[in-house]
């Protein structure tokens, strides 16, 4: 699951434009759910050792593959 910002949508065409997801341009989005901070947050995160060198947060501008 990836959180993303909805940038634009076209209800008639059924098109939703989002930012910063881990998919290629043009990939279909199967489902969208709202982010609800009171229930969607993780209180105690445990990161596997093999991911310990990754940054805590993704930069606002995202990243390139």
- What are the tens digits of pLDDT across the range 2-49? 788 899 999 999 888 988 788 888 888 888 888 888 888 878 888 889
Strands 15-19 and 5-10: what pairing?
Answer: antiparallel
Model confidence band, residue 62 (pLDDT cutoffs 50, 70, 90): low
Average pLDDT over residues 47-59: 82
- CA of 26: how far to CAs of 3, 36, 48, 50, 60, in Å? 17, 26, 31, 31, 21
As a dihedral over the C-alpha atoms of residue 53, residue 51, residue 39, residue 25, rounded to 10 degrees, the angle is 90
Return the domain boundaries, the chain: 5-51
Q: What is the pTM of this model?
A: 0.56
């Amino acid at each position: 699951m990836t959180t993303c910002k909805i940038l634009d949508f076209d209800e008639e065409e059924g098109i939703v434009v989002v930012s910063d997801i881990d998919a290629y341009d043009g990939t279909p989005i199967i489902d969208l759910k709202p982010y609800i901070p009171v229930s969607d947050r993780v209180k105690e995160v445990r990161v596997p050792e093999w991911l310990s060198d990754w940054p805590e947060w993704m930069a606002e501008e995202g990243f390139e593959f």
